[in-house]
């Protein structure tokens, strides 16, 4: 039994440590090579340290407490999302941060955690039965997800909104609604994409007028991807293409490299082998949490784990995809590897509860 527990922990912490070490190596390289990044290694180490403290705290506390008071955490987080629109600092066109003397805080990142807690708790309390009851449950889940999405849209932060809906979809799948609802939802999504696609390709002015001026930010990013006209992406692909298996070129500057383009940065600094280690580490973690989803009997816990897993995989695929030029650049950091404070700490909070649920 003891060996099983140790092996269980190794499946999480060995790949996690590999990701953290790769991240720190990259922060070291940018701190000594690029102007303006001198503090990145120290700050990233600090975030990891705080993250482990949060993991330990969330591991010790009873998970039931977090679910029980999730509606209050959710409400507080909504308030923070409103306040940041008035008192926040604009960075890269997005008013999403509270800036303090020694650190910054991003409420939209914390919402990933509080939304997963609250949504899994609410859905697990919802009655299953006929189509009418399931319709109410879907509307409830949609309403809970739309509220933070609306405020985050005003920042704007497209990546966070996508994550919120990924979490919701994962939980609805685990909730196991009637097959007819999947067909209906599929039809609605197809209609929405068709309308959006038509306006995007044939009447962009009308599309922007319908959405509002803040949508210019998203349209610009999408246009950059479609037209393959991005300085960031060009530099990232050059750094990848000129690196070898065991060593990189180390000399190509990539804007936002420690966050959005961390994969290209890692290959540039440590070679293609670092990318292979990143992929293998994520594969082990993803597989571990997938097994946990199937093994967990409690519906509330199962939905929470599924929400995290879908979010975790989506962030990996999106970040790696945009580094390779096959997905749009929407600013999603790579979990545990990209530079960042709130994002890293939130992922450690997730891990604390996940390890706690496994223990219990």
Q: What is the pLDDT of residue 239?
A: 76
pLDDT at 210: 58
Q: What percent of the chain has pLDDT over 90?
A: 51
| Position 222 confidence tier, pLDDT thresholds 50, 70, 90 | low
pLDDT of residue 230: 67
pLDDT confidence band for 236 (50 / 70 / 90): confident
Q: pLDDT at residue 215 above 60?
A: no
Residue 95 to residue 106: CA distance in whole angstroms: 10
Residue 47 has pLDDT above 80, yes or no: yes
What whole-number percentage of the chain has pLDDT above 70?
87
Q: What is the pLDDT of residue 360?
A: 67
Q: What is the pLDDT of residue 308?
A: 98
Burial of 48 (0-12, 13-18, 19+ CB in 10 A): middle
Extract the runs of DSSP E, i.e. beta strands, from the chain: 89-91, 94-99, 104-105
In this structure, of 8-17, 67-76, 154-163, 241-250, the range with the lowest mean pLDDT score is 241-250
Q: Does residue 36 carry a pLDDT above 90?
A: no
Q: Where are the beta strands (DSSP E) in 93-205?
A: 94-99, 104-105
Question: In this model, does residue 220 exceed pLDDT 80?
Answer: no
- Summarised one tens digit per residue, pLDDT across range 103-158 is 789 999 999 999 999 999 999 988 776 777 888 888 999 999 999 999 998 887 88
Cβ neighbours of residue 149 under 8 Å, at least 6 residues apart?
161, 164, 165
Q: Please give the pLDDT value at position 179.
A: 78
Q: Which 3 state secondary structure label does DSSP give 309?
A: helix
């Amino acid at each position: 039994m003891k060996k099983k527990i140790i092996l269980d922990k190794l499946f999480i912490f060995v790949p996690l440590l590999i990701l953290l070490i790769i991240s720190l190596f990259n922060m070291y390289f940018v701190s000594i090579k690029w102007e303006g990044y001198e503090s990145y290694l120290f700050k990233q180490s600090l975030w990891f340290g705080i993250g482990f403290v949060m993991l330990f705290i969330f591991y010790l506390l009873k998970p039931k407490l977090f679910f029980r008071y999730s509606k209050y955490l959710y409400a507080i987080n909504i308030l923070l999302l409103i306040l940041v629109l008035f008192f926040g600092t604009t960075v890269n066109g997005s008013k999403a941060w509270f800036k303090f003397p020694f650190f910054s805080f991003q409420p939209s990142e914390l919402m990933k955690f509080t939304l997963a807690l609250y949504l899994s708790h609410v859905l697990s309390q919802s009655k299953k039965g006929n189509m009418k009851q399931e319709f109410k449950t879907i509307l409830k889940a949609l309403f809970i997800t739309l509220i933070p999405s609306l405020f985050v849209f005003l920042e704007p932060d497209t990546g966070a909104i996508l994550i919120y809906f990924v979490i919701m979809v994962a939980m609805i799948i685990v909730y196991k609604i009637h097959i007819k609802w999947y067909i209906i939802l599929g039809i609605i999504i197809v209609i929405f994409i068709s309308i959006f696609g038509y306006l995007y390709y044939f009447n962009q002015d009308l599309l922007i007028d319908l959405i509002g001026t803040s949508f210019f930010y998203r349209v610009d990013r999408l246009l950059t991807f479609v037209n393959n006209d991005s300085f960031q992406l060009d530099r990232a692909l050059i750094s990848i293409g000129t690196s070898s298996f065991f060593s990189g070129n180390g000399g190509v500057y990539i804007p936002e490299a420690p966050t959005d383009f961390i994969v290209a940065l890692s290959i540039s600094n440590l070679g293609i082998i670092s990318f292979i280690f990143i992929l293998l580490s994520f594969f082990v973690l993803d597989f571990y949490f997938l097994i946990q989803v199937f093994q967990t009997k409690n519906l509330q816990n199962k939905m929470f784990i599924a929400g995290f897993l879908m979010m975790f995989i989506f962030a990996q695929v999106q970040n790696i995809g945009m580094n390779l030029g096959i997905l749009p650049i929407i600013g999603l950091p790579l979990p545990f590897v990209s530079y960042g404070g709130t994002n890293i700490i939130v992922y450690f909070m997730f891990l604390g509860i996940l390890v706690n649920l496994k223990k219990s």
